[in-house]
Amino acid sequence: MYLCPVKIFFNSLQEYNRSKIMNEKIHFNYAYPNHRYYDGYFRNMNVRGDIKNVSKLNLSNKMRMLWEQHVAWTRMLITSIAFDLPDTEFITNRLLRNPIDFEEALRSFYGDDIASQFRNLFREHLTIAAQLVKSAKAGDSQMVSNTEKEWYANADKIAAFLSDINPYWSQENWKSMLHEHLALTKSEAVNMLNKDYAANISVYDEIERQALEMADMMTEGIVEQFIKN
């Protein structure tokens, strides 16, 4: 018996209080990334050595690029899973490079151990998301419910971890932003599974905007902790 993914997957999206985040003005003048998506681009930026001399612009560009890639490759994987495309394995492998790229970016500031811990948490975030889409496509409501709980628990772990390593990263702000990210990604997946392409595009516009907010919040915390003074 076929179960509509919307009924088992897209429960009511939670409303998150983003007033704290939206009211906290970011004073740094961030620029948009150059969008040069080729291997090694961000690794060649001047982020090694004396972190006091790191270019704020390069840092902002890098974080924005990584978050843009995070949501873009997630979107491509959702599409590949939804339509059983032959590129699913390749898309998955590219998406799972994103946590490694974040690890490289954070290593210059936090060292190997902390950077690898973030990589593992972020990889888990992605693998859970992929399983959630697969379960929804298969109509497995119990697996969807269990996996979604695991997904949100992982987001809470990421928020707590970030607040532990940087005093300028609020756990509540990160939790709110990550929960919104999950809700938007879930909506994106549901729209794709139900072939509501107009709604899917609209949601992705919001996903992209929100991802850049997270990138800027990540950059601002690093600037305050390591570079500003």
Share the mean pLDDT of the chain. Answer: 84
14 touches 41 (CB < 8 A): no
- Residue 135, pLDDT > 70, answer yes
- Say how far apart CA 42 and CA 98 lie, in whole Å: 12
147 touches 120 (CB < 8 A): no
Please compute the mean of the pLDDT values over residues 201-229 and round it to a whole number: 95
The three-state secondary structure class of 137 is helix
Position of tokens 């811990």? 117
**How high is the pLDDT of residue 33?**
38
Could you report the per-residue pLDDT of 6-25, keeping only the tens digit for each?
333 334 334 334 444 334 33
CA distances from 135 to 41, 148, 207 (A): 35, 10, 22
pTM (two decimals): 0.78
- Residue-range domain boundaries for the chain: 5-227
Position of tokens 């269990």? 146
- Say how far apart CA 16 and CA 35 lie, in whole Å: 30
**How high is the pLDDT of residue 130?**
98
- The DSSP letter of residue 196 is -
Could you report the per-residue pLDDT of 31-83, keeping only the tens digit for each?
333 333 333 434 444 444 455 555 788 999 999 999 999 999 999 999 999 99
CA distances from 123 to 18, 74, 127, 130, 158 (A): 25, 12, 6, 11, 11
For residues 161 and 48, the model is more confident at: 161
Please compute the mean of the pLDDT values over residues 209-227 and round it to a whole number: 96
For residue 187, give every residue at least 6 positions away whose Cβ sits within 8 Å of its Cβ, in sequence order, or none: 10, 13, 199, 203
Please compute the mean of the pLDDT values over residues 166-177 and round it to a whole number: 98
CA distances from 33 to 30, 36, 61, 101 (A): 9, 8, 4, 16
